[in-house]
């Protein structure tokens, strides 16, 4: 599709071609993706951002699917509107505080990102991205043969000082990608004031923000930063999903689109797969509207469990490997982003030794999108599916792996 923006020339300086970076990230001889190794039979896996199945509303969803299949005329088994089932869109629009016309149902969060890329980018465009980054977004950028401009991410999310400096120096990205809430992998949260500053920069310099927010609802204390700045701007595509809350197998999410993008988004979607599963949409619509707090009750049950596991893992790392890791306890999400304090520890060897000890995790180097960070000194430890006892044992195994280098 044609570019929807009228912006300045985009220089090729300081940009990395995405295919080149993808090859590096997926080379098992380079970054050593833990998923490419054969784990021990009793391995404890702290890998992906996967919800605990015991915290998913399986029985309630079964009832919702049954009710959808019992509806006269079986609309759940017929074709539907490209935008999505009206009842589900209306429920989402109310939570996002936007007109329902701006909601498009998707097949999960990554599908929303892919649609945003196809809507906004021309081939070869420059895209500012998180550094470190959720690396699958880079795969999505291959759709546009894009180049990237890495911007550091820290405890307070995207480094807006660095971004503003790059813009002032002449960088002209067509879009910017960031995970504003409980960033993957670093777990940083972009404060509301920074969100408004980011939107102001987007509006001033003419780029579109892809705000990817799959962990937004997993705030341990239930308190989240406002997304009003994103949803009020016509320079933001805000992406979310039911993956982390109701289950990844549903393949169901949504995007909040600027009004100027909605018509083209529907045309694009209708030329691809027409619409998301009618059965799944009808079932989820029935579940979330079954009573006023149905969805929030799922969150209220899950949040303290994930909070307990995050705290247990942080405590176990210090107890079993005292002084070895710098850990900032996360406020939400599914990961601990632990930094190795001792530069003498070979992080690549540590990952291999940890696998021998029976602990699998994702190396921080896997998330690097450019220079200027110490991501390669980090371990991304996913605690969402592990019990406290397993997390304690995982810390013991990590300590044993470190001891192999002493």
Structure confidence at residue 11 (pLDDT): 37
pLDDT (mean) for 62-72: 97
Structure confidence at residue 41 (pLDDT): 86
Q: Is the pLDDT of residue 13 over 60?
A: no
Nearest CA-CA partner of 95 in 211, 206, 240: 240
CA separation, residue 404 to residues 40, 202, 349, 351 (Å): 18, 49, 10, 12
Q: Give the H or E element holding residue 380.
A: strand 378-382
Instruction: Kindly give the pairing relationship between strand 208-212 and strand 175-178.
Output: parallel
> How do residues 275-300 score in pLDDT, each as one tens digit?
999 999 999 999 999 999 999 999 99
pLDDT (mean) for 391-400: 98
* Helix spans in 127-173 (H): 136-141, 160-168
Dihedral in degrees, nearest 10, Cα atoms 396, 401, 402, 403: 90
Q: Is the pLDDT of residue 2 over 70?
A: no
Nearest CA-CA partner of 127 in 148, 108, 145: 148
Q: Is the pLDDT of residue 336 over 70?
A: yes
Beta bridge partners of 152: 131
Nearest CA-CA partner of 289 in 72, 69, 81, 95: 95
Q: Give the H or E element holding residue 308.
A: helix 294-320
Q: Is the pLDDT of residue 90 over 80?
A: yes
How far is Cα 143 from Cα 207, in angstroms, rounded to an integer? 18
Structure confidence at residue 19 (pLDDT): 52
> How do residues 131-150 score in pLDDT, each as one tens digit?
999 999 999 999 899 999 99
Mean pLDDT of the chain: 92
**Structure confidence at residue 39 as a pLDDT band (50, 70, 90):** confident
Beta bridge partners of 128: 149, 176
Structure confidence at residue 155 (pLDDT): 92
**Structure confidence at residue 37 as a pLDDT band (50, 70, 90):** low
How far is Cα 194 from Cα 344, in angstroms, rounded to an integer? 36
How far is Cα 191 from Cα 201, in angstroms, rounded to an integer? 15
pLDDT (mean) for 381-388: 98
Q: How far apart are the first and last CA of the chain?
A: 56
Q: Is there a contact between 406 and 344 (Cβ–Cβ < 8 Å)?
A: no
**Structure confidence at residue 64 as a pLDDT band (50, 70, 90):** very high
Structure confidence at residue 40 (pLDDT): 81
How far is Cα 368 from Cα 24, in angstroms, rounded to an integer? 10
Structure confidence at residue 236 (pLDDT): 98
What does residue 33 show for φ and ψ, rounded to 5 degrees?
A: -50, 125
Structure confidence at residue 5 (pLDDT): 32
Nearest CA-CA partner of 377 in 357, 404, 395, 351: 351
Q: Is the pLDDT of residue 390 over 90?
A: yes
> How do residues 149-170 score in pLDDT, each as one tens digit?
999 999 999 999 999 999 999 9
Nearest CA-CA partner of 364 in 379, 347, 350: 379
* Helix spans in 73-150 (H): 86-96, 109-120, 136-141
Structure confidence at residue 34 (pLDDT): 43
**DSSP 3-state of 297:** helix
Structure confidence at residue 20 (pLDDT): 55
Q: Is there a contact between 174 and 125 (Cβ–Cβ < 8 Å)?
A: yes
Q: Is there a contact between 229 and 192 (Cβ–Cβ < 8 Å)?
A: yes
Q: Is there a contact between 384 and 52 (Cβ–Cβ < 8 Å)?
A: yes
Q: Is the pLDDT of residue 62 over 80?
A: yes
How far is Cα 37 from Cα 28, in angstroms, rounded to an integer? 9
What does residue 64 show for φ and ψ, rounded to 5 degrees?
A: -65, -40
Q: List the structure tokens of 65.
A: 């699917």
> How do residues 110-129 score in pLDDT, each as one tens digit?
999 999 999 999 999 999 99
Beta bridge partners of 332: 219
Q: How many CB atoms lie within 10 A of CB 126?
A: 23
Structure confidence at residue 168 (pLDDT): 98
Q: Is the pLDDT of residue 22 over 80?
A: no
Tracing tokens 């930063």 back to the chain, one arrives at: 225
Q: List the structure tokens of 50.
A: 């996967």
Q: Is there a contact between 391 and 316 (Cβ–Cβ < 8 Å)?
A: yes
Structure confidence at residue 16 (pLDDT): 59
Residue-level length of the chain: 406
């Amino acid at each position: 599709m044609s570019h929807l923006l009228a912006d300045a020339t985009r220089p090729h300086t300081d940009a990395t071609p995405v295919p080149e970076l993808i090859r590096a990230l997926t080379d098992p001889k380079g970054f050593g993706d833990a998923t490419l190794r054969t784990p021990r039979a009793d391995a404890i896996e702290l890998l992906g951002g996967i919800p605990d199945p015991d915290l998913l509303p399986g029985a309630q969803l079964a009832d919702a699917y049954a009710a959808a299949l019992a509806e006269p005329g079986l609309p759940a088994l017929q074709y539907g509107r490209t935008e999505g089932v009206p009842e589900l869109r209306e429920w989402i629009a109310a939570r996002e505080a936007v007109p329902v016309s701006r909601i498009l149902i998707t097949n999960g969060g990554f599908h929303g990102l892919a649609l945003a890329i196809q809507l906004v980018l021309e081939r070869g465009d420059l895209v500012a991205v998180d550094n470190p980054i959720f690396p699958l977004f880079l795969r999505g950028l291959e759709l546009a043969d894009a180049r990237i401009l890495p911007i550091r991410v820290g405890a307070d999310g995207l480094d807006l000082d660095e971004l503003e400096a790059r813009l002032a120096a002449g960088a002209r990205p067509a879009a910017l990608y960031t995970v504003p809430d409980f960033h993957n992998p670093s777990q940083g949260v972009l404060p509301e004031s920074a969100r408004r500053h980011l939107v102001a920069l987007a509006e001033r310099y003419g780029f579109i923000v892809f705000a990817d927010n799959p962990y937004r609802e997993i705030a341990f204390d239930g308190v989240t930063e406002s997304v009003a700045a994103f949803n009020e701007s016509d320079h933001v595509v805000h992406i979310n999903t039911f993956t982390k809350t109701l289950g990844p197998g549903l393949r169901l999410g949504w995007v909040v689109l600027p009004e100027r993008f909605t018509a083209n988004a529907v045309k694009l979607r209708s030329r691809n797969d027409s619409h998301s599963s009618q059965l799944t949409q009808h079932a989820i619509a029935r579940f979330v509207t079954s009573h006023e707090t149905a969805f929030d009750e799922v969150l209220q049950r899950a949040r303290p469990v994930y909070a307990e596991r995050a705290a247990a893992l942080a405590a176990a790392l210090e107890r079993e490997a005292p002084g070895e890791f710098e850990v900032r306890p996360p406020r939400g999400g599914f990961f601990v982003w632990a930094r190795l304090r001792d530069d003498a520890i070979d992080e690549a060897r540590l990952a291999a030794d940890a696998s021998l000890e029976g602990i699998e995790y994702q190396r921080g180097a896997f998330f690097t999108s450019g220079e200027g960070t110490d991501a390669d000194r980090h371990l991304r430890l996913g605690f969402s599916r592990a019990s406290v006892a397993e997390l304690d044992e995982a810390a013991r195994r990590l300590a044993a792996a470190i001891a192999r280098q002493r």
